């Protein structure tokens, strides 16, 4: 139980850190990669919550499809966010 | 990253940690309940009950039993919505030709990313294919199922499009829009056939295992073929859903990857 709780704490803290970095990052490609990292941490959390079916769909959609689609969209526009660009 | 950012980050992490500790230690009454609710207990007890087959689905995977047996119509409607959404997308882009125009062999070599990326994409695609097929075929005994397997497989063509080009997908793998639509439709037709087949012998719609309270009850799909577990309809429905989802997503990616230039040319802008 203690191990599960501490793993859960690790996964969710990691997710929080990744989402903070994704929001703060001015480089959109980096932000997308951080977002994928956040999804991976969430996948670990889902696994600890004993939802393996969700993990399988979530990893494929959030880390695979979502990331690649976002990168594709970024390739159609500018990579850096900001006023001077 | 300035000092202020670090402080905000640590504060947010601490806040989340505190909330989590409170929730896990029972601060919100019943959120992480350790008891199984009565509804869940019913499904867990009956999905593979060899001693009382009144309500069973002959599948040890309770989630798949719920998705394709107890709440099967729900999943069927979900699949139809997915299908119709994708067909709607295809209809919006119908003005664009199925295959892109010119493009000689010499042009093909220059497209895509570096050799390292291409080679690793090939290796990763093989792994994706194996995982997807195994998740689809074991959906009725393990966690996973049609939707999960389909979304895993859909990553493959997407990677090919990113690392090579869209033309590689159409010319080498022979996977173009018409073929995707065909496979997608075959998947949905398979689902409808499997769902409707019990009606022919007098069973109920979407009947999987014998239901003894029905007038013409003792009829059900095979639960085993030799040592292989089939779990009645669940195996076939999972495979059909796998077709629908994987080729549905692939079709969407093919549509999304139509170059803007091509589109403008066709619309005469």
The predicted complex's ipTM stands at: 0.82
Q: Which of A9, A67, A11 is nearest to A35 (CA)?
A: A67
Question: Is residue B162 one of the residues assigned to a domain?
Answer: yes
Supply the pTM of this predicted model: 0.83
In terms of residue numbers, what domain contains A32? 2-76
B8 and chain A in contact, CB less than 8 A = yes
Give me the number of domains chain A comprises: 1
Q: How far is CA B144 from CA B97, B128, B159, B234, B262, in A?
A: 36, 15, 22, 12, 39
Q: What's the rounded Cα separation, in Å, for the pair B126 and B160?
A: 12
Question: Is residue B55 one of the residues assigned to a domain?
Answer: no
pLDDT tens digits, residue range B111-170?
677 889 889 999 999 999 999 999 999 988 888 888 999 999 999 988 888 888 777 777
Question: Is residue B51 one of the residues assigned to a domain?
Answer: no
Out of B9, B24, B260, name the one closest to residue A17 (CB).
Answer: B9
B13·A13 Cβ contact <8 A: yes
B16 and chain A in contact, CB less than 8 A = yes
pLDDT tens digits, residue range B43-59?
888 888 888 888 888 88
Give me the number of domains chain B comprises: 1
Question: What would the mean pLDDT of A57-71 be, rounded to a whole number?
Answer: 89
In terms of residue numbers, what domain contains B166? 61-267
pLDDT band at B227 (very low <50, low <70, confident <90, very high): confident
Residues of A with CB under 8 A from a CB of B: 5, 8-9, 12-13, 16-17, 20, 24, 52-53, 55-57, 60-61, 64-65, 68-69, 71-72, 76
A53·B148 Cβ contact <8 A: yes
> Which residue of A lies nearest to B128 if distances are taken between CA atoms?
A60
């Amino acid at each position: 139980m203690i191990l599960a709780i501490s793993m859960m704490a690790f996964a969710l803290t990691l997710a929080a850190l990744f989402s903070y970095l994704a929001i703060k990052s001015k480089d959109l490609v980096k932000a997308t990669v951080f977002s994928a990292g956040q999804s991976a941490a969430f996948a670990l959390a889902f696994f600890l919550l004993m939802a393996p079916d969700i993990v399988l769909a979530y990893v494929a959609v959030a880390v695979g499809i979502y990331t690649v689609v976002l990168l594709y969209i970024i390739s159609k526009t500018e990579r850096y966010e900001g006023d001077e660009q | 990253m300035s000092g202020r950012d670090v402080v905000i980050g640590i504060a947010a992490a601490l806040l989340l940690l505190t909330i989590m500790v409170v929730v896990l230690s029972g601060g919100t009454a019943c959120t992480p309940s350790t008891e199984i609710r009565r509804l869940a207990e019913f499904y867990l007890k009956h999905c593979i009950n060899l001693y009382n087959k009144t309500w069973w689905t002959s599948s040890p995977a309770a989630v798949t039993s719920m998705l394709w047996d107890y709440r099967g119509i729900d999943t069927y409607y979900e699949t139809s919505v997915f299908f119709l959404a994708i067909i709607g997308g295809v209809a919006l882009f119908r003005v664009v030709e199925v295959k892109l125009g010119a493009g000689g062999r010499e042009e093909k070599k220059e497209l895509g990313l570096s050799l390292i990326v291409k080679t690793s994409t090939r290796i990763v695609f093989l792994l994706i294919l194996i995982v997807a097929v195994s998740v689809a075929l074991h959906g009725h005994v393990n966690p996973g199922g049609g939707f999960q397997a389909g979304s895993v497989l859909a990553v493959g063509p997407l990677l090919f499009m990113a690392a090579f080009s869209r033309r590689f997908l159409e010319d080498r793998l022979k996977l173009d829009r018409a073929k995707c639509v065909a496979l997608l439709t075959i998947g949905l037709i398979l689902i409808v056939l499997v769902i409707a087949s019990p009606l022919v012998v007098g069973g109920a719609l979407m009947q999987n295992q014998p239901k003894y309270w029905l007038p013409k009850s003792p009829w059900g799909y095979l639960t085993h073929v030799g040592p292989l577990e089939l779990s009645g309809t669940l195996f076939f429905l999972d495979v059909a859903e796998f077709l629908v989802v994987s080729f549905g997503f692939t079709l969407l990616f093919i549509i999304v990857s139509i170059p803007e230039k091509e589109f403008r040319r066709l619309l005469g802008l």
